[in-house]
Structure 1
Amino acid sequence: MSLVTLKDVLQPALREGYAVGGLVCLGWEDMRAYVAAAEAINSPVILQAGPGCREHTPLPVLGKMFRHLAENASVPVVAHLDHGYTFEDCKIALDSGFTSLMFDGSRKPLNQNIDETAKIADMAHAAGISCEGEIGFVGYADGEASAGTDPEEAAKFAKEANVDAMAISVGNVHLQQDKEGGLDLDRIKAIDQVTEVPLVIHGGSGVPVEQRKLLARTSSICKFNIGTELRMAFGSALRDAVNKDDERFDRVSILKETHDPVMQAAKTVLQAFRG
Structure 2
Amino acid sequence: MSLVTLHDVLQPALQQGYAVGGLVTLGWEDMRAYVAAAEAENCPVILQAGPGCRAHTPLPVLGKMLRHLAEHASVPVVAHLDHGYTYDECAEALDSGFTSLMFDGSRKPLADNIKETRQIAEMAHKSGISCEGEIGFVGYSGGENSAGTDPSEAAIFAAETDVDAMAISVGNVHLQQDKEGGLDEPRIAAIQAATEVPLVIHGGSGVPTSQRKSLAINTNICKFNIGTELRMAFGAALRDAVNADPERFDRVSILKETHDPVMAAARIVLRNLKGQSDD
- TM superposition shift of 1:221: 0.1
1:29-78 Cα distance to aligned partner (Å, 9 max, x none): 00000000000010100000000000000000000000000000000000
1:80-128 Cα distance to aligned partner (Å, 9 max, x none): 0000000011000000000000000000000000000000000000000
- Tell me the TM-score normalized by structure 1: 1.00
How far, CA to CA, are the matches of 1:228 and 1:41 in structure 2?
21
The residue aligned with 1:220 is 220
The residue aligned with 1:131 is 131
The residue aligned with 1:6 is 6
Paired amino acid for 2:64: K
Paired amino acid for 1:126: K
Please give the secondary structure, in 1, of the residue aligned with 2:101.
strand
Please give the secondary structure, in 2, of the residue aligned with 1:179.
coil
- TM superposition shift of 1:249: 0.1
Paired amino acid for 2:149: T
> How many residue pairs get matched?
275
The residue aligned with 2:85 is 85
How far, CA to CA, are the matches of 2:139 and 2:263 in structure 1?
28
Paired amino acid for 1:71: E
The residue aligned with 2:144 is 144
How far, CA to CA, are the matches of 2:232 and 2:150 in structure 1?
32
- Tell me the TM-score normalized by structure 2: 0.98
The residue aligned with 2:41 is 41
The residue aligned with 1:197 is 197
1:134-182 Cα distance to aligned partner (Å, 9 max, x none): 0000000000000000000000000001100000000000000000110
Could you tell me the percent identity over the aligned residues? 81
The residue aligned with 2:74 is 74
How far, CA to CA, are the matches of 1:111 and 1:211 in structure 2?
32
How far, CA to CA, are the matches of 1:258 and 1:204 in structure 2?
22
Q: Is 2:154 aligned against 1:161?
A: no
Paired amino acid for 1:32: R
Stretches (4+) displaced over 4 A:
none
The residue aligned with 1:267 is 267
Please give the secondary structure, in 1, of the residue aligned with 2:210.
helix
The residue aligned with 2:103 is 103
How far, CA to CA, are the matches of 2:69 and 2:257 in structure 1?
19
Paired amino acid for 1:23: L
Please give the secondary structure, in 1, of the residue aligned with 2:89.
helix
Please give the secondary structure, in 2, of the residue aligned with 1:230.
helix
Structural RMSD (CA): 0.4
- TM superposition shift of 1:261: 0.1
